[in-house]
Structure 1
């Protein structure tokens, strides 16, 4: 199987006119801003907090996240009831943390997903089940694989709010859906590309958050840029080995969806996973770091899932993932764990 980019199809007959966005955070807000720039995509926006919904209806901005972003009230319609939000839409875009996706979607049935395209912008895995979000949607709601897609980076919500140049990678086994999604999300500050490697893009998005935590820990411990460069370069070997074991296809890991997303997450000031790791390296407990951030670091949940998957594959060594797991879940001192890790890096 090859994962080369899709070429533009002038005969594409699929149209996505109305999208249900599930989630009320900064990334959901950024995606809504992107989708409404073209002036033709209507958004049914489901948020859990009823006070936020009232604020959005009155002032056309999200009071909690990216509050500077002004939303198009003619195109953006907030909903309290998730079943009403997904009714009659062409696509459902998931933008809640992976740890909460099961709860958020619990009122829905397979019938609510029937004949709809489902897009995950979630950079995490389903806890305990250790499966990707798209795999969960396919099995739990009987959504055909051809009706599932993934949004990859590199792209931070904060830079979308500032309309700085950013890039999105849309991945699906369905060429027509991928190209249509790329079309409606492309605008003056967003470039889009499409690839076939759905699970590969999704796994990389998960693992790069783990690597970002490791970089944050290193920074919190006082390691410098030289060490981080070695850490990130070794992480690419780790990603390559993991993908070869769990989803072996031909892919170019230097592409933006893989290396680009990894770099922005490990180096950016906006990376919540790097921030979380930095706090751990400085001596915060996991609970204290989570409470102070008031945002979800997907890598915290992801490292447990990836670590457990890796243990199922004999000979698959993932020293960076193992180190982060030991620190977060076994409560081994970051100082001790990184002394061990630095001897394993090349």
Structure 2
């Protein structure tokens, strides 16, 4: 048993804390909102983010970041991508006083706006390397609601240091939560981030009333886009046919649990990007990632037509309707279907 700090008391942070507590680890869950922290401590629930779920009484919740991370062997960051830099900055001085350097794990999926950095790149840029062991990415097909009710779930722990990935694997593994290791950090992170874009598109297709044929086409061609950009950034193309690639893509594009899918259905109903953000009380990473991926595609001269159409529909002054975007995709010049890494 070891002390593990979960930073972020939303749905995914709470679900991961539940897994670790059930695995008999000393689990501390940190959040900024005192009302949520009090609820977790007093009633052992988090109804706003994880309704109808009983959390283990052994989970300790706190608003004190220093209390959460003190003497923790592992710190798991589950905050929105664009809050990750600030969180790393807040952690830096606290890690100075640690008797043992912890393993840093992140379980978020996105790319930082403006810098276009992957989350592990943000963490290694900000954190003092002397104060932590390694950075590990925890990613894959996983809905917090299903993990919380102990549905069978499989994820990937990726790190440049295989031993660090194996430490995360051992901390989480149980009869319903299985973790595989991987050393392709680039592929695992990009697979997790870019699939959110395709999930927004899947929600749009569903919201417009298209059927399974259209969704299958979107998922397949979306995977091709993810692979093109990923391999251009140095990822192993085989990663994208694994859990953090096609596995995560399928679950996010086919489930109403997915906030990115939900956002797409709202866009199909005519809501603007700003209106969608107002209606959903959790960050929709896919909408933010559309812009970053579009910029990367231009920088690397990568053909990403689905991403481009979503960018035009969501971000440009000359916005096109989602119906026109779909028609534009269908009427593109005929091409030969390429292999996954093209």
Q: Normalization by structure 1: what TM-score? A: 0.89
1:82 counterpart (65, 71, 82): 65
SS at match of 1:101: helix
1:54 paired residue among 38, 45, 48: 38
**How does 1:133-152 map onto structure 2 within 5 Å?**
133-143=119-129, 147-152=134-139
Using the TM superposition, give the Cα deviation of residue 311 of structure 1 relative to its aligned residue in structure 2, in angstroms: 1.1
Match runs of 1:160-309 below 5 Å = 160-249=147-236, 251-309=238-296
Tell me by how many angstroms 1:91 deviates. Answer: 1.4
Q: Find the counterpart in structure 2 of residue 25 from structure 1.
A: 10
The DSSP-based 3-state class of the residue aligned with 1:154 is coil
The question of whether the paired residues in 2 share the 8 Å contact of 1:172 and 1:178 is answered with: yes
Cα contact 2:187–2:237 (8 A) shared by 1: no
Q: Residues 125 and 250 of structure 1: is their aligned pair in 2 closer, same or farther, counting only changes over 3 Å?
A: closer
* Distance of 2:40 and 2:226 partners within structure 1: 40
> Which range moved further: 203-212 or 57-66?
57-66
Offset of residue 146 of structure 1: 6.6
Match of 1:5 in 2: none
CA drift at 1:287: 2.1
Partner of 1:327: 313
Aligned residues: 328
Q: SS state of the match for residue 240, structure 2?
A: coil
1:94 and 2:87 matched:
no
1:73 CA drift (Å): 2.8
Question: Residues of 1 paired with 2:141 and 2:47: CA distance?
Answer: 25
Per-residue deviation at 1:194?
1.0
CA distance in 1, matches of 2:94, 2:41: 29
In structure 1, distance between residues paired with 2:88 and 2:109: 17
Query: Which structure ranks higher in relative contact order (CA pairs < 8 Å, sequence separation ≥ 6)?
Result: 1
Q: Secondary structure of 1:48's match?
A: coil
Deviation at 1:320, TM superposition (A): 0.8
| Residue ranges of structure 2 left out of the alignment (5+ in a row) | 338-342
Offset, 1:239? 1.4
CA distance in 1, matches of 2:20, 2:272: 38
Moved more, 63-72 or 175-184: 63-72
Structure 2: distance between partners of 1:250 and 1:273: 24
- TM-score norm. by structure 2 comes to 0.90
Note the C-alpha offset of 1:341.
Answer: 1.5
